[in-house]
Amino acid sequence: MNLSERDLAVIWHPYTQMKTAQPPIPIVRGEGTCVFDEDGKKYIDAVSSWWVNIHGHSHPYIAQKVAEQLTRLEHVIFAGFTHPGAVELAERLLAILPDNQKKAFYSDNGSTAIEVAIKMCLQYWHNKGEQRTKILAFKNAYHGDTFGAMSVSGRSAFTAAFDSLLFEVEFIDLPTDDNVDSLKSQISHLKSQLACFIFEPLVQGSAGMIMYEARHLETLMAHCKREGVLLIDDEVFTGFGRTGKPFACNHVQTQPDIMCFSKGLTGGTMAFGLTTCTQEIYNAFLSDDKMKTLFHGHSYTANPVACAASLASLDLFLDTATQQNIDKIVARHEAFAEKIKDHKRIATYRQTGTILAMEWETGNNTSYFSNLRDKLYHFFLDKGIILRPLGNIIYILPPYCITDAELDYIYAAIEQALDTI
């Protein structure tokens, strides 16, 4: 049996209907923006392996730092103990976040970073003796797959089997010029019950790279702040340069109370999660009463190897060459969008920083629409490009080290798809 066949005998894949799925492509090696299969076929990873990879695959500097850490200290319990990587990473990250972020809580992935944020907010009010138990979120939001994270995500096909078990959340529309005032009134109306507002800043990734304006986010954040509603900024996807600036919240003035990170945190090397918060939130848990403790923790909290990968990734991220690469991708995406925007197959396109999304015109032909995604997916795979359309939406979000030649190749393939599919 080859690797794909052995896989299908024993493995259940994420977000995959195993009955109809094609056999998985066996990847054995990665380098730069590319991964290579068993037969040596090369694929350009134009979606950064589900949005996690920022510096390219198997980066030698991250690999070296991880290897050194593994032979020094692989793991240690994080209740009652600490280690240099956890402290240094918190110090260095807090220094580049909005200056109200004062404490770091580590976990394992994006969903757990969200769970921690929600629990911090709910217990903040509980510890203060105030009845604020409702959470405000955007329609179509995606914050992860654990139950709390699912609850604050939009109700969709992803959640349908569990809807009756998810806690109640107040969902509002994304802000526009037309509705932003009415959203503010909705918030004011609910304010005494609202514990927090959780949002994906500027871009709703899983919803289909849906984007909204920073000035509207600023209006909503400032309004929540005035109304005493805590702000959870979910930077799991947008953190570490995706939107062109280090963090999406750098596009607004109002500072969030809590921030969540994962995906790019380790540069895409391994699972890790981080939730940061203000001194004010942290202080609400300080007490002689043990019941006010944040009773949350994971076996691998602050894993030293994950901290080492994150510190190495941060070194690379703060290198001026990386910011130049980000600026280059932003400019090249803009130029490409300009070139294809009037193509008859482009219904609409949008860009925030290094993320470029294009919606394919589908007319009213829904049967065509249903297999368009698979057609596009395989068209690009054949050309050695990993693009995973969300329905009829194609998006490119490459590792920042992508070369001009690789970008040219991807853009040319998209133009060819526009003309032939």
Ligand X SMILES: *Cc1c(COP(=O)(O)O)cnc(C)c1O
Query: Any contact of residue 115 with ligand X (CB under 6 A)?
Result: no
Active site residue 257: no
- Nearest partner of 402 among 339, 324, 315, 336, judged by Cα: 324
Alpha carbon 176 to chain centroid distance? 23
Question: What is each CA distance from 162 to 19, 109, 112, 148, 252, in whole angstroms?
Answer: 22, 21, 18, 12, 35
- 298 belongs to an annotated ligand binding site: yes
Q: Does 200 bind ligand X (CB under 6 A)?
A: yes
CB of residue 114 to ligand X, shortest distance in Å: 6
Among 44, 62, 89, 114, interactor with ligand X by CB under 6 A: 114
The span from the CA of 28 to the CA of 41, in Å, is 10
Q: Which of 43, 106, 124, 142 is catalytic?
A: 142
Nearest-approach distance from CB 289 to ligand X, in angstroms: 32
Which of 56, 110, 246, 398 lies at the binding interface for ligand X (CB under 6 A)?
Answer: 110
Question: Judged by CB under 6 A, which of 30, 144, 201, 246 binds ligand X?
Answer: 144
Sketch the per residue contact string, 217 through 236, with ligand X: x for CB under 6 A, - otherwise.
-----------------x-x
Q: Has 263 been annotated as catalytic?
A: yes
Annotation marks residue 300 as catalytic: no
Whose tokens are 């695959």? That residue is 57
> Cβ 282 to ligand X, closest distance in Å?
22
Which residue is catalytic, options 124, 234, 395, 400?
234
Answer for which of 205, 241, 304, 389 binds ligand X (CB under 6 A) is: 205
Asked whether the CA dihedral 133, 139, 143, 147 is positive or negative, the reply is: positive
**CA pair distance 128, 240, nearest whole angstrom:** 34
Closest CA to 193 of 150, 282, 130: 130
Active-site option among 65, 134, 184, 263: 263
First to last CA, the chain: 34
What residues contact residue 300 under an 8 Å CB cut-off, 6+ apart? 75, 108, 306
- Residue positions forming the annotated binding site: 50, 110-111, 142, 234, 263, 297-299, 388
Binding residues for pyridoxal 5'-phosphate: 110-111, 234, 298-299
Active site residues: 15, 142, 234, 263
